[in-house]
Every structure is written in C-alpha cells, then in structure tokens.
Structure 1
C-alpha cells in the first residue's frame, strides 16, 4: 500500500503539510506552494492530517477549475463520503486502486486492504475532532473577468526593471547599481521570464545559498537580502505579488549574523581614537595641512558624531536656532541628501566648541556669498556620496600625522563617530541621549526618556560635558580662518 502524504519535518520536530499548486491555478490562488504547520510531532497523526488536507485542497482546486466538488457526506459537509470498494461474487474485496483527493491508495489482497481500512478509520476519527486551525480556508475566487490574475502575471525580469525605474530619482547612482545587482541577480537565478508571483521562500533561500557557496560573506548577503525585501514590498503594493504581513516578507530571515561573526566584525571594524590621537589629529599645525573644507568637516564629525555622508551633505538651511540654541539638522529633505534610517533624522545643538571656532560665522559668510551648501564644491549626486571626498582626505590626514593603522580593525572618518560615542559613554552621558544625539535606533522602552518636551537645551546640557578633548581652540581657529574671505568661502 502506497500512501503519499506531502509531509515535511522541521528541525524542531514539528511536521508541516506541503502541497504544490497546479500550474494552471497558481495565478488564481496566488501561491505556487501551500505550506501549513500540522502542530504535531507524532508521525502517525501528521500522516493522517496530510491525507485530510490533501483531500480538502483537491476539492478547492476542482471548484476553481469549474469541475464541481467530490460527493460529500450529508452528515458533515466538510467530510468526503467513505470509499465504496469493489467486491467479488462472494463479497470479497478485489484488488483496487483509488484516488482520494491527491492521495492514491492501492490494495493488493486482504492484508493490504486491512491496512487501508485501518488508515481510513484513523482518518475518520481524527476528522471528527477536526481542529479549526488545520482546516484550509476556502479560496475566494475573483468575480467577473480575471483582471486580478492578469495583473499578477508579471515576469520577474520586467518587474525588476520597473522597480529600478521607480527608485532611480531618489537613489544615489552607486546605491542604485548595488540594488540592481542584487535584484537582477535573483531574477536571473529564478528565471527572468518566470512569473514574479510564483516566487516562494525556498527560491530565495536557494539563491542565498548559491551566493554563499560562491564565496560571498555574511555582511554582503545581508545587504543583498535587504534590497530584495524592498523589491518585494514594492511588488506587493503594485499588485504583482500576493499581499503579506509586514514581518512575512519572503526575503526576510534567510541570513543572520551569528554571534561569532558579530564578534569578528567588531574586531575588524573602525576603532575609536585615543585622547592623545585626537589631540595629535587636531593640533593647529596638523589641521593647517588640510583643505579649508576638510578642516571644518573633520571638526563637525568629531563634535557631532555624525556619519561622513551626513556631514558632507549639509545645506545652509540645516543650520537653525531652536529655543535660542544654535542647531544643525540631519535630514533627507534637500536635494542630494539621504539618511541611513528614520532614527538618523535629528536636530542637535551645535557644541559650544564649534561655536567658539566660528561655525555659524562660516554659515553666514556662505549665505552672504549666495551659496546654499556648507561645502559648495561638493557635487550634488556624486557617485560615491557627498562625503566621499572628506573620507579620503581624512584618511590621508591620519597617515600624515603619523598614526599607524591598528593590528586589528582600522582608523578612518567613521572612527570620529566611535570616538564621540565612547567619550560620551565614559563621561556617563545617558544612553538615550547618546542615541538621540548621534542618530542611533533605541528600544521602545527608552523612547520616552528623551521624547516629549525635551529639546536642544536639555540635549546640550546632557552631552556637551561628554565631548571634550582639551583642544587648542584658539590655535585651531587661526588655522581655520587664515586667508581671505573668498578662500574660506570657496574652499571645499
């Protein structure tokens, strides 16, 4: 007796029912594969429920094709009628083969027949206790012309092209290239002419595993999956892919950083500068070797703890006064501006040291010259971002002052962000204020601690004491303002 049962066993031991939707019904059903947890680790119970679900979905598929449904038992509308088996002249059961939904039962002789009857009795007993969670819901078929089905019928290659066109205007050229490589790479792996709505999690997982075997590391795989998540979010909104809950995007959960990888990543990431290194980098004679724009960029990065792209894209309109406190805003509202995430959008007080060095004076001088950006020579929409020039300049500056790269990790402009955060931490600046100041995400339980009525004055009181490096401010100011007005305004 052969009993196909469509069973998969999860690593947890729980059995799942898995059924491939017929090709001619996938556009209507909106799925290529149906998968449901059977909520049991007992193989006998799981086998029987696989029979039940197979029969029920067979009824749904038959109705979808307009072929009607199999005969039903009058006592229970959701129970198929028991099999009527062939018998001989003496009422003995003959050899037979029959189909119950997607389950084929074959019996050759009395012994096979006895096992078949035992299986049917198990099915009947379990169906009488039918848990609602295991009953497949009826499929709601489209009414009228099959417009929704046609809308879903979109080749993934064409959908990828459309998505890239839709984000081109708001995406940096380099970022667009990276996103295109990820989504088009998956489309090629899956088959550019296959329908987008046929993609299931198993297809994406197979692609991820293929990339891993090709030698790509976990951080790269995480980035590629994040871009693919954005593509599927767009596809669901556009009607090219079935709707899914926010936390069930098919591209989610395929790659995670293991604890060992996280430790290794931290060890090889950017390192914070020591106090002695900061004083060496910001000595007046050392700063004088940088371009005028790079000097200001390096100082803003140190005191604001900002990312290099956030510094390089600053517009003059980002400098305001709130509650009589001079502030700067990190935002994506202006042309060529972008932020890493929503937590990065912030308005922070300008540190008193930056005011003493003349940052607001520079802003006013630029406005008087008719400029609109803090660094006028930076090209809007640069391929590598608005901060690429500053990152390269500061890396050369580190080498020029004689600071050697560490044995593990590296020094760069991002080290200034780590330096600011760790210095505030050492000064016991509360976590919620540190996160608010540098634009880090924070758990919801802490949000109330720095939201509500708190503003720039409170933030300044909280963080300014944790951002001190005993620099020669008067000497630095002379280095910043040496030369004529036009030089300091026109400098990058």
Structure 2
C-alpha cells in the first residue's frame, strides 16, 4: 500500500497526520492498535514525503513484531507455529550458507534498531538517507533472523549479509523489494538473473558498518564486526564520471534546447521555440558555477543575492525541503559574467514579479524529497538524443568540467575548492571566514571553456 494511503488531514487545524493500523495479530506485541504520528505540516507535498519516512519505520516496527520481539510490556505470547514460508527461508539459509539466528544472550543490551535511532539523533540524517539506512538494517535483520543486541553481532553474520546482498537481483518489483531477503533469493531463476553491482553492495554494507562503528566508539562494542568486510571494488567495476569536453559543450549549447526546438515535449527537435525554464538554465549554471544538480534545483529566489555589485548564489539548506551533501557545501558562488549576459538575473526578476518563491518552480519534489531526480533522467535522455552517449558523462560532468577550467585558468586549488564546496584537506583552511566574495568573483571571471582550441560561451557561440 502506498505511504499516501496512511495520510490524514485534521479537519480543524489542517495539520497532516500519519495513521497506520496495526494488524490484530500484532497488537499484543506492539501494545497499540494504531501507529499515529503528527507530520506537523499543512503542505500536502511535504506531508507525502514525511509519510514515506514514517511508512518505512512502521513496516520496520511490524517486521520486528512479526519476528517475535515484544515491543510493549511483556505478556504471554505463544511462539508462532512454523509455516511454509519459514520452511522456505530455512532452505535458503542452507543454500546460501546463512547462519540460523543465534540464541539470545542473557543480557539484553542495545539492539541494532535502537543503535541506529541513537546514531540518527546525533547525525540528523536527511529523510532519503534515513530511508536507505533503515532498508539496509532491515535486510541485515532478515539475514541474521532477528534484531539482536549489537554485542551479539559477529563477523560471520556480516559475511552472510554480504553474500546475500551480492546475490540480490539488480531489478526488482515493488512486491519483491518488500519480501524478506532469504525468501527473495529463493525465488531467483538461477544464474540468469543480473545481480546488483558491487557499488550497491559496498554502499549498503557501508551503512551497517557506520552504525556498528558508532556503537564501537560509544562503548557498546569492543570492535566493529563489519570493518574490512566490504567487497573489493575492481578498478573497472565502476564507471568513473568524465568531464564534458569542449566538443561536448559545443554540442550541448548549440543544440535545439538553446537555438530553438519544436515544443516542450520535443526539445531535441530543431524549431523556433526557446523555453527558458529549468531545462534551459540548469546546464549553463552547472557549467559556470560547478554546483551539484540538487543544489541548483532547490534554489529559492532568496538564494540569488547581490553584495557590493557582485551577483551570487547562496548555497544553503535554510528553506524547507533544502538539503546539502555536507556542512562544507554551504558557500557563496559568484555568477559568471556569461550567465548574467544570458539573462539569468532577468529570469529571476520575472519570477519575483510573478510571486514565485523558487528559481525553478517547474521542478517538483519526489516522495524522497529530491527536486531533480526526474529531471536528471530527462537530461540523460536529452543528451543521448543529441549524440552524447558515453554513460560516464552525466550532469555531474559539468562539475568536473568546471574544476578542469579552474585548473586551466591557474586558480589556486583552495579557491576552487571553496567555489565547489569541497572539504579542505588541511586543518589550516578551516580557520577564519574563508575567501571574500570579491576574490571568488575574480576567480570565476577567469574561467573560459574551449572547443578545439576556440573559446565558447554558454550559448555555444565561438568567440
């Protein structure tokens, strides 16, 4: 059932609530008939995003109760009679060398789910990251068979988890994603199934390792049982992103998106229509600022500022729904003269006059809170249609091209790190307020992008 099915709006206050009924068979274990959470927002779009987070947590809670964990006050609960599903899971455990759940130790101790909640209370993960961590922990519980105390987790458990993850299919239906991992593996069609990438396995195991590492640092474990067990990433196992080179930039900025297309749905087809929306502005901003796609897509009009005659983007996470990759991502990025010349500030002024609040109001957040996820896929389709088919070249390639241009212009590394929000490798760089806006603007003004030795602007014109 979709998370939106659990949304309820209070008739008097307009505040959205998450309400999920607890199955009758689990009410004794959980100690309630319904899981209720106030989402503390009147915005339906934001409520839908928050409902997804609470839906994952609710499923997590129900799964723990199904596993026999008493989440309410102790009561006399008879153990479940093994059913066909349990027998299948037992067979899969034998086939994939997944150990049976270990007996509970005498001392209860901190359990993995609770450990994650404590870790999250310190880190305050973004909603999407929280969902991913919860999914990784749920998969681990499915493999080892319970939400055991962290002190009882062994390297053998983590190895079994790794082997199970590496056996997972690359593509799954929504129903398959909800299935317990051993049962999912039981239904695979031999070797004909394409498996997940090592990158995915490493990322998932990295989340478990992070939580267990937190436990070790805080004295709940003597060591991290997941340390050193992530599969080795082969050199050619991951496609390394490449920068857009001069020929790519010429292709992009002289394509119908900028010279004229036939319609909004056929941007790649040559015509007379130039639509100045997110599709038009994001590529040129990506090239001339080096910003990440989501940083640009979530910009508000208040983030486009001017100080001492210098127009700049204030990259921050102050507005509702905004998020940044790291704390070091907060920064000010002066606008390149070519972006201003192309009319970006005129575009912003028009939006303000219309009463808009965001720079790209046509981009809608998905249930995970991402503003540019759908647009990123569109960009991949568009570049393929205009002839850029190398899978290593994506929107992030603009960021790589920006860094290359900084090096070619002789800009000090510390300055272009400040422009792109890369964390300083030296402690000394973290002291003081950083570079002034005038110094950053001077650096940005030096940037030039070339195509076969010729300078081009962000409209694809040779100079």
Give the drift of 1:419.
1.6
SS of the residue aligned with 1:328?
strand
Structure 1 counterpart SS, 2:346: helix
Superposition deviation, residue 437 in structure 1: 1.4
Instruction: Report the CA distance shift for 1:385/1:262 in structure 2 as closer, same or farther (over 3 A).
Output: farther
Task: Give me the whole-angstrom Cα distance separating, in 2, the residues matched to 1:256 and 1:445.
Answer: 32
- Alpha-carbon distance in structure 2 between the residues aligned to 1:444 and 1:164: 27
1:339 to 294, 319, 324: 324
1:255 equivalent to 2:240? Answer no
Deviations 1:40-79 (A, max 9, x none): xxxxxxxxxxxxxxxxxxxxxxxxxxxxxxxxxxxxxxxx
Residue in 2 aligned with 1:411?
393
Q: Secondary structure at the match of 1:326?
A: strand
Q: Which residue of 2 aligns with 1:184?
A: 138
Aligned to 1:156: 112
- 1:328-407 matches, within 5 Å, as 328-383=313-368, 385-401=370-386, 403-406=387-390
Q: Distance in 2 between matches of 1:453 and 1:435?
A: 11
User: 1:460 corresponds to which residue?
Assistant: 441
Report the Cα distance in structure 2 between the residues aligned to 1:453 and 1:188, rounded to whole angstroms.
48
In the alignment, which residue of structure 2 is the partner of 1:282? 253
* SS of corresponding position for 1:321: strand
Q: Which blocks of at least 5 consecutive residues in structure 2 are unaligned? A: 1-105, 169-194, 262-266, 268-274
Distance 1:201 1:323 in 2: 58
- How do 1:462-477 residues align onto structure 2 when only pairs under 5 Å count? 462-469=443-450, 470-471=455-456
Structure 1: gaps of 5 or more residues: 1-148, 477-492
Residue 242 of structure 1 corresponds to 219
Task: Give, in angstroms, the shift of residue 340 of structure 1.
Answer: 1.7
Match of 1:223 among 195, 203, 222: 203
Cα distance, 1:429–1:446 mapped onto 2, change above 3 Å: farther
Distance 1:456 1:251 in 2: 44
| Distance change (3 Å), C-alpha of 1:273 and 1:244 | same
Structure-2-length-normalised TM-score: 0.57
SS of the residue aligned with 1:296?
helix
How far apart, in 2, do the equivalents of 1:468 and 1:249 lie?
47
- State the shift of 1:328 in Å: 0.8
Residue 374 of structure 1: CA displacement?
0.8
Question: Do 1:283 and 1:472's aligned partners in 2 also have CA atoms closer than 8 Å?
Answer: no
SS at match of 2:323: coil
- Contact preservation (8 Å) 2:155, 2:225: yes
Give the SS at the match of 1:466. Answer: coil
> Does the alignment pair 1:428 with 2:403?
no
1:126-174 Cα shifts (integer Å, max 9, x gaps): xxxxxxxxxxxxxxxxxxxxxxx98x634435666x579979996345x
8 Å CA contact 1:294–1:393 kept in 2: the answer is no
- How many residues were matched structurally? 312
* Structure 1 residue 314 corresponds to structure 2 residue 299: yes
Q: Give the C-alpha shift of residue 180 in structure 1.
A: 2.2
SS of the residue corresponding to residue 311 of structure 2 reads strand
CA 1:371–1:428: 2 relative to 1, 3 Å:
same
CA contact (8 A) 2:136 2:208 kept: yes
Judged with a 3 Å threshold, the aligned counterparts in structure 2 of structure 1 residues 463 and 452 are, in CA distance, closer, same or farther, namely same
CA contact (8 A) 2:364 2:371 kept: yes
Q: Offset at 1:439?
A: 1.9
C-alpha deviation, 1:223, in angstroms: 1.4
Does the 8 Å contact 2:288/2:336 carry over to 1? yes
Distance of aligned partners of 1:167 and 1:183 in 2 relative to their CA distance in 1, 3 Å threshold: farther
Against the structure 1 CA distance between its residues 474 and 190, is the aligned structure 2 distance closer, same or farther, given a 3 Å change threshold? closer
The alignment's C-alpha RMSD in Å is: 3.7
TM-aligned CA distance change 1:194 to 1:280, over 3 Å: closer
What TM-score, normalized to structure 1? Answer: 0.54
- In structure 2, relative to structure 1, the CA distance for the partners of 1:383 and 1:427 (3 Å cut) is same
Q: Structure 1 residues 447, 257: closer, same or farther in 2, change over 3 A?
A: farther
Counterpart of 1:207 in structure 2 is 161
Structure 2 distance, partners of 1:322, 1:262, is 46
Q: For residues 439-464 of structure 1, give each alpha carbon's deviation from its aligned partner in whole angstroms, at most 9, with x where no partner exists.
A: 2233116726x965521211122233
Indicate yes or no: 2:280 matched with 1:303.
no
